A and B are shown apart, each in its own frame.
Chain A
Amino acid sequence: AQSVTQLDSHVSVSEGTPVLLRCNYSSSYSPSLFWYVQHPNKGLQLLLKYTSAATLVKGINGFEAEFKKSETSFHLTKPSAHMSDAAEYFCVVSLFDSGTYKYIFGTGTRLKVLA
């Protein structure tokens, strides 16, 4: 089955420390991958996307993610967490299925940033 797995449902970090949110995918094809962020009572905002170009992708707000085919991973990182980063993060894979491309959402990781 083709899918995406976010390994942690909750992550807590202290302000100023690095952030790592993990995402693994399974796919028979070369996928496109996305990270979205959702602040409370808001819609999802695109942070970054990978579409078979450079494997290290830089996004908004200092976030970046690295596509590792050998590990089937697309982990999201940020060198230094800010209080405003507290939100829910979704890893999404675009997979070819039944003749079309579909968005498959992970279950989300809630990031808490401690002062």
Chain B
Amino acid sequence: ETGVTQTPRHLVMGMTNKKSLKCEQHLGHNAMYWYKQSAKKPLELMFVYSLEERVENNSVPSRFSPECPNSSHLFLHLHTLQPEDSALYLCASSQEVGGPSYEQYFGPGTRLTVT
């Protein structure tokens, strides 16, 4: 399998549930990203990892907890979410973090609905 994959593609969870989103990249990249895409809002960068080390955390609530066990896998652990957290969560990877011309490759996203 090639590119960036995400599972599950759709997730419905209650506010008291705990769930995890998974991202895997098959491109040999060293950097991985989580984005949130809400309707009528620009893409919001949530977290950036470089070689399993978190290098950026953009004021994301603690109910979102990322984990990067190796450079190919990235998780987003979710707990006690709010309805306003319903969105499309996109994972991306790039060759490195911080290069001027390193394009990012995106997964298909997980559509999250919090009830």
Q: Which residues of B contact A96 (CB under 8 A)?
A: 100
> Is B68's beta carbon under 8 Å from chain A?
no
Within 8 A of A (CB), among B78-115: 90, 92, 97-109, 111
Of A45-53, A68-76, A77-85, the one with at least 4 CB within 8 A of chain B: A45-53
Majority SS at the chain B contact face:
loop
A34 contacts across to B, CB distance below 8 A: 103
> Cβ of A51: which chain B residues have Cβ within 8 Å of it?
100-101
User: Which residue from chain B places its CB closest to the CB of A30 in the assembled complex?
Assistant: B100
> Bound complex: CA of A106 vs CA of B41, how far in Å?
10
- How many contacts A-B (CB < 8 Å)? 49
Q: Contact between A101 and B106 (Cβ–Cβ < 8 Å)? A: no
Q: How large is the interface on B (under 10, 10 to 19, 20 to 34, 35 or more residues)?
A: 20 to 34
Interface residues on A, range: 20 to 34
- For B100, the chain A residues whose CB sits under 8 A away are 31-32, 51, 94, 96, 101
Tell which of A31, A43, A49 touches B108, judged by Cβ atoms closer than 8 Å: A43
Least Cβ–Cβ distance between A53 and chain B, in angstroms:
9
In this complex, which of B101, B108, B111 has the most chain A Cβ atoms within 10 angstroms of its Cβ?
B101
- B residues near A (Cβ < 8 Å) are 4, 6, 42-43, 45, 90, 92, 97-109, 111
13 CB < 8 A contacts A-B: A32-B100, A36-B106, A42-B108, A43-B4, A43-B90, A43-B92, A43-B107, A44-B106, A45-B106, A49-B103, A101-B100, A103-B104, A105-B42
